[in-house]
């Protein structure tokens, strides 16, 4: 791992009239950059599968740590059971990989290749029961803005 940067959060809160066992979720979203000392890129492999230049490279992905049932106490402090945090369980393949018996195999990451895929998987599928706040902003994108949407629409474009 070369770097890990927090790029925002998705906060889901149960909508009025919905009484779930989990009243809210907080997804802390990170952009991870990985550096490989040796490995073929998919482009190198497609150009020449027997390429001896195993130079490695860099790739990135997005991941999260999720917490649930966060509470604000009477004194205004926030409480959450940190040990109940969940790591992202989606796997995505890197463009960097290795050769094994003449076959290209990409490295697997616990996360998503893009923010839209992550948003759809963790937020959009729950919009019927939960409203959300989104502060996720890709660090490479200086035009993104913080958004909030409790209307129940998918809003996947808000994730980038």
Tens-digit pLDDT profile for residues 26-62: 999 999 988 776 655 656 656 665 555 555 677 889 9
Q: Are 104 and 45 in contact (CB under 8 A)?
A: yes
- Among 1-10, 54-63, 139-148, name the one with the lowest average pLDDT: 139-148
Give tens-digit pLDDT for 76-120. 898 888 888 999 999 888 766 666 666 666 678 899 999 999 999
Q: Is this model's pTM higher than 0.85 or not?
A: no
Q: What domain range is 97 assigned to?
A: 3-159
List, in sequence order, every residue forming a beta bridge with 59; answer none if it has no partner. 34
Q: Are 157 and 116 in contact (CB under 8 A)?
A: yes
**Total of domains in the chain:** 1
């Amino acid at each position: 791992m070369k770097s890990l940067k927090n790029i925002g959060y998705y906060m889901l809160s149960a909508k009025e009239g919905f009484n779930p066992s989990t009243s809210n979720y907080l997804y802390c979203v990170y952009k991870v950059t990985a550096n490989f000392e040796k490995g073929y890129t998919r482009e190198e492999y497609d150009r020449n599968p027997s390429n001896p230049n195993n130079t490695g490279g860099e790739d990135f992905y997005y991941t999260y740590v999720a917490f649930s049932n966060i509470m604000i106490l009477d004194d205004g402090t926030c409480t959450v059971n940190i040990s109940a945090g969940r790591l992202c369980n989606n796997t995505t393949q890197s463009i960097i990989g290795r050769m094994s018996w003449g076959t290209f195999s990409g490295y697997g990451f616990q996360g998503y290749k893009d923010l839209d895929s992550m948003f759809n998987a963790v937020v959009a599928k729950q919009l019927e029961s939960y409203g959300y706040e989104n502060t996720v902003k890709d660090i490479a994108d200086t035009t993104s803005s913080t958004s909030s949407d409790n209307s129940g629409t998918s809003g996947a474009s808000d994730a980038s």
